[in-house]
Amino acid sequence: MIQKTDFLVIGSGIAGLSYALKASEHGHVTIITKKNIQQSNTALAQGGVAAVFGKQDSFDLHVADTLKAGDGLCDPDVVKMVVENGPKRVRELVDLGARFNMAGTGKFDFAMGREGGHSVKRIIHAHDLTGREIEDALVARAKENENITILEDHVAVNLITFSSSVRSGVLVTQYDNFCCGAYVLNNTTGNVETFHAAITLLATGGASKVYLYTSNPDIATGDGIAMAYRAGASVANLEFVQFHPTCLYHPKAKNFLISEAVRGEGAVLIDGGGRQFMEDYTPEKELACRDVVARAIDSELKKTGAESVFLDISHKDPDFIRQRFPHIHARCLEYGIDITTDPIPVVPAAHYMCGGVATDLNGKSDVQRLYAVGETACTGLHGANRLASNSLLEALVYAHNAYLDSVKELPAIKKNMDITLAPWDETNTTDSDEAIVVSHNWDEIRRLMWNYVGIVRSDKRLQRAARRIKTIQDEINEYYWDFKLTSDLVELRNIATVAKLVIQSALLRKESRGLHYNIGYPERDDKRFLISTLVKKRF
């Protein structure tokens, strides 16, 4: 059975939900989400939203900080547009019910925090659970909206495009390449369902689960990037993987981030002997951008052979620490660490993809009717390194832009929705009895990416990774077409695709810039590489 909808939104974080709520005023919206609707990177975001509200702040300052962090690759027009539209979008969140820490009695008199790379305090936050506050407000509105259908435990498999329609025997000649929906695995039934949509929006989040150590949840497997690439969309700047400097290091802790805001409130990084080391690397010390701090920690660990460094905020007032960081304080206590008295063991971990599906100012990809917003997209805002707390800001602004653009396109598209889509073909497939193949390849990909395509890279390591990922992809593709789909197999295929694209992009950039550091080319090369890295599938 084919399910029709006006807007198909794949993903349920801040980008997808913001878009869905607005688009629902113009048609029916179907939201596809892999797990529970509230499981997303948004819900884990501790820091906040960077936006200009403070008296000491200005659009020009925020633009300048963003451009500096991006190390020459930000699109200045995009940066200006996002920064100037940020306050409007934050006000909308408040109107939707999101509650932030306040400094006074005014509706938008926010208490502002500071994070690395920012010249002033401009981080709007809800203690240290900002993402959860935003997600809860958006989910509540989406659930009460009669024009929105939410399908949990549904995993998008492939986008359906004009070219796939041709291959399935339906001849359509009046269009160029366009997206008309997606094949989606219903985890409850095990069936792959066909969704026919006028507009498809990818908001699937990032891909940092491609690395062994990450701050991201298990769902961050790069599904949107991989599906868009397979459908013929351009992807950009995937070599720029942001490693957050401070992920909790503890054998029982999984993916727990220690927010940038902790350093913003005065925490210092020390080695096992209590020595502060950041001044050896940069005059900005702990408030340097994430790429600088992560490389400094990586260097210290390699020099000393230690398993972690430590983040120490114990010199601050205990009551302040507990009030400002209640979630971090409580979580660390679970592991026997009292951050009011003890330094926190931390290591860098893969955190954010600055690259993704290449889009224009409206979130449009180069496949017609296909939009991408949030971490799935590469808009030109982040360049070679994302400024802290600009991610939620970008998601809000681009979700709004994509909404405005897509509703203008909708009437004309709905007049041409008479295309016959082929159902998912499971002919000659059987149930798999070799789950070990999936788990082994999953583990191998994540280890080779961590060891060869991590914080510090070399051509030799990258070439070794490229050879191995090709072999793994060949194994996965053979397995993929022989057995019935499972969510594990879908995700494995996607992280393999993203791994290949990250490696390919890193090999193309023969310099060091922002988050991409190659020991063979330690300097920035503006003559040859002051450009984005674009990759497009060859059919």
Residue 290 catalytic? yes
User: Residue 41 contacts by C-beta under 8 Å, 6 or more apart in sequence?
Assistant: 13, 131, 205, 206, 216, 217, 220, 375
Count the neighbouring beta carbons within 10 Å of the beta carbon of residue 336.
9
The answer to whether the Cα torsion of 163, 165, 168, 171 is positive or negative is negative
| Residues 7/20, Cβ–Cβ less than 8 Å | yes
Q: Which residues pair with 29 in a beta bridge?
A: 7, 148
Bridge-based pairing of strands 123-124 and 2-10 is unpaired
What single-letter DSSP state applies at residue 280?
Answer: G
CA-nearest of 44, 52, 247 to 130 is: 44
Count the neighbouring beta carbons within 10 Å of the beta carbon of residue 435.
11
Count the neighbouring beta carbons within 10 Å of the beta carbon of residue 341.
9
Q: Which residues pair with 214 in a beta bridge?
A: 350
Q: Which of 290, 369, 493, 509 is catalytic?
A: 290
What single-letter DSSP state applies at residue 266?
Answer: T
User: Residue 262 contacts by C-beta under 8 Å, 6 or more apart in sequence?
Assistant: 246, 311, 313, 325, 328
Q: What does the DSSP assignment read for 397-457?
A: HHHHHHHHHHHHHHHHHHTT--PPPPPP--TT-B--S-HHHHHHHHHHHHHHHHHHSSSSB
Q: Enumerate the active-site residues.
A: 290
